[in-house]
Chains A and B, each alone.
Chain A
Amino acid sequence: MPEQLTIEPKTSLRSGPDARGHFGPFGGRYVAETLMPLILELEAAYRAAQADPAFRAELDWLLKHYVGRPSPMYFAEKLSTYLGGAKIYLKRDELNHTGAHKINNCIGQILLAKRMGKTRIIAETGAGQHGVATATVAARFGLPCTIFMGARDVERQSPNVFRMKLLGAEIVPVTSGSQTLKDAMNEALRDWVTNVHDTFYIIGTAAGPHPYPELVRDFQSVIGTEAREQLLELEGRLPDVAVAAVGGGSNAIGLFHPFLDDPVELVGIEAAGHGIDSGEHAASLTGGKPGVLHGNKTFLLQDEDGQITDAHSISAGLDYPGIGPEHAWLHSIGRVRYESITDREALEAFKMLCREEGIIPALEPAHALAYVAKRAPQMGKDEILLMNLCGRGDKDIFTVADALGVKL
Chain B
Amino acid sequence: MSDRLSRRFAALDGRAGLVTFVCGGDPSPELTAPILHALVAGGADIIEVGMPFTDPMADGPAIQAGNIRALGAGISLKKLLAIVTDFRTRDADTPLILMGYVNPILAYGPDRFASDARAAGLDGVILVDLPPEEADEMLPALNGSGLHLVRLATPTTDAARLPAVLEGASGFLYYVAVAGITGANSAQASDIAAAVARLKASTALPVAVGFGVKTPAQAAAIARHADAVVVGSAIVDLVGSAHARQSNDIPGEVEAFVSTLSAAVRSARLETAA
Contacts and interface: CB of A to CB of B under 8 A. Distances in A.
Interface in B148-171: 151-158, 161, 165
B179 interface: yes
A235 interface: no
B126 to A, nearest CB: 11
A184 to B, nearest CB: 11
Interface in A1-58: 20, 28-38, 40
B55 interface: yes
Contacts, number: 115
A291 B53 CA distance: 13
A386 B180 CA distance: 45
Contacts of B59: 190
B152 A32 contact: yes
Contacts of B165: 33
Given A32-B57, A306-B103, A176 B131 contact: no
A399 interface: no
A186 interface: yes
Given A190-B58, A306-B104, A306-B105, A196 B156 contact: yes
A292 B102 contact: yes
A193 B131 contact: no
Chief secondary structure at chain B's binding surface: loop
A277 interface: no
B55 to A, nearest CB: 5
A29 to B, nearest CB: 6
Interface residues of B, number: 42
Contacts of B157: 33, 36-37
Contacts of A190: 57-60, 181
A37 B158 contact: yes
Interface in A279-307: 290-295, 300, 302, 304-307
B232 to A, nearest CB: 15
B105 A32 contact: no
Contacts of A306: 53, 77, 103-108
Contacts of A35: 156
Contacts of B58: 32, 34, 189-190, 193
Contacts of A33: 131, 151-154, 156-157, 165, 176
Contacts of B154: 32-34
A295 B103 CA distance: 11
Contact of B133 (A28, A189, A290): A28
A241 B128 CA distance: 42
B63 to A, nearest CB: 11
A294 B107 contact: no
Nearest to A197: B179
B205 interface: no
Contacts of B107: 291, 302, 304-306
Residue among B54, B130, B157 with max Cβ neighbours from chain A (10 Å): B54
Nearest to A290: B106
A284 B61 CA distance: 28
B187 interface: no
Interface residues of A, number: 37
A189 B56 CA distance: 10
A308 interface: yes
A81 interface: no
A307 B53 contact: yes
Contact of A308 (B54, B151, B179): B54
A219 B130 CA distance: 28
A176 B78 CA distance: 25
A294 B57 contact: yes
B249 interface: no
B191 interface: no
B134 interface: yes
A186 B55 contact: yes
Contacts of B128: 32
A37 B129 contact: no
Contact of B134 (A28, A189, A304, A308): A28
Residue among B102, B103, B176 with max Cβ neighbours from chain A (10 Å): B103
A177 B133 CA distance: 29
B76 interface: yes
B24 to A, nearest CB: 12
A29 B134 CA distance: 7
Given A28-B133, A190-B181, A292 B54 contact: no
Contact of A193 (B130, B153, B161, B181): B181
Interface string A301-333: 010111110000000000000000000000000
A182 interface: yes
A305 B107 CA distance: 6
B145 interface: no
Interface string B50-79: 000111111110001000000100001110
A292 B103 contact: yes
A378 interface: no
B141 interface: no
A20 B131 CA distance: 12
A105 to B, nearest CB: 22
Contact of B129 (A30, A40, A302): A30
Given A33-B131, A308-B103, 15 more contacts: A28-B133, A28-B134, A31-B129, A32-B131, A33-B152, A34-B58, A36-B161, A177-B54, A194-B184, A290-B106, A291-B103, A291-B106, A292-B102, A302-B107, A305-B107
Interface of A: 20, 28-38, 40, 176-177, 182-183, 186, 189-190, 193-194, 196-197, 290-295, 300, 302, 304-308
List the 5 shortest-distance A-B pairs measured between CB atoms, nearest first: A306-B107, A306-B104, A194-B180, A34-B154, A306-B103
18 contacts: A20-B133, A28-B134, A29-B131, A29-B134, A32-B131, A33-B131, A33-B151, A33-B153, A34-B154, A34-B179, A36-B133, A40-B161, A186-B56, A193-B180, A305-B78, A306-B103, A306-B107, A308-B55
